[in-house]
A = this chain, B = another copy of it.
């Protein structure tokens, strides 16, 4: 059984067949074929070049068929077989993977996905709203007060900044208690069931301790950065905490894996219910086409439960209508730093944001 992986390679036309064959070998047996005595390995394990397409911009799309048997059931090994050594070639980008049924079943994808998040929040149709707790350097109490403001404004989700970890000025356990309490106070004012999403960091032991603390605080959402924590750790965490919805942060995502694949398909595949990514026109250089493709991958109905696209990265309230028209309502709008500019008027600004999303008339 094989599955198709597409790489984009910047090279001369004269070299492309050798490059394609090189990738097929590198991502499978990683040795000269002349040294392989076993016919079954040659037939069933060595990668096969299925197609080479000239993209007419100095780049070729190379489609390789890899053996599913080399992956096993570990998500880290999946990434290893997709791009491990080939990532060391500067002129190659991992462009796409046709995830086969067997691996879809092995890894499982989101446990909740978009519909279950809608039910939890009591938001059947409109897009979701979110903001982020920052800057780091604040004490847990200060972050808790900030969380309260966002919740009073009626936002759906308030996440930790991904830089908040387990620092001396704001230890994880103190922070999560203070922020959960702040959200609870805000919810009592607003009546809206705002969810707090703590960012989990560290090794698998530490991630589990933090997820258990989240559970003890009555939370049902957490955030992880799969490229920092490791795909295998996220896979284990998703299995261990069936009550938690997982939000994926793209930190360290600048591996030369096409973002619509890494964030839209692969983060979803290993069980993330919602995927944060840099929206076009913000602080990062993703194109509108890339963002459209990423969101389409996250919600592709043919790949099991859909994950929630969360465009972010320097967003502002005045872009609400444009973002909603671009992504549609199965989306969470995440505005972080720009809400914080309101300083003592944060709850009001959050409320204005919540209202803009609720009142939006799709064109």
Contact = CB atoms under 8 A, between A and B. Distances in A.
Interface of A: 22, 26, 28-32, 34-38, 40-41, 44-46, 67, 69-74, 76-77, 79-81, 83-92, 134-138, 142, 161-163, 165-169, 201-206, 225, 228-233, 235-236, 250-256, 259, 278, 283-286, 313, 336-338, 340-343
A251 B30 contact: no
Given A41-B138, A136-B45, A254-B256, A284 B89 contact: yes
Contacts of A230: 203, 228-230, 232-233
Contacts of A81: 163
Contacts of A162: 30, 80, 84-85
A79 B228 contact: yes
Contacts of A340: 31-32, 35-36
A250 B84 CA distance: 8
Contacts of A32: 337-338, 340-341
A74 B163 contact: no
B168 A341 contact: no
A40 B166 CA distance: 19
Contact of A77 (B67, B83, B202): B202
A80 B142 contact: no
16 contacts: A30-B136, A30-B163, A31-B161, A35-B341, A38-B135, A40-B137, A71-B167, A73-B166, A74-B166, A77-B201, A80-B252, A84-B225, A87-B251, A203-B233, A228-B230, A230-B233
A245 B134 CA distance: 40
A214 B30 CA distance: 24
Contacts of A37: 343
A111 to B, nearest CB: 17
Nearest to A45: B137
Nearest to A254: B87
Contacts of A46: 135
B205 A142 contact: no
Given A85-B251, A206-B74, A80 B201 contact: yes
Sorted nearest first, the 10 A-B pairs with minimum C-beta distance are: A230-B230, A87-B254, A31-B337, A29-B135, A45-B137, A84-B251, A35-B340, A204-B204, A41-B137, A203-B232
Contacts of A70: 136-137, 163, 167
Contact of A168 (B29, B40, B69, B136): B69
Contacts of A252: 79-80, 83-84, 87, 255
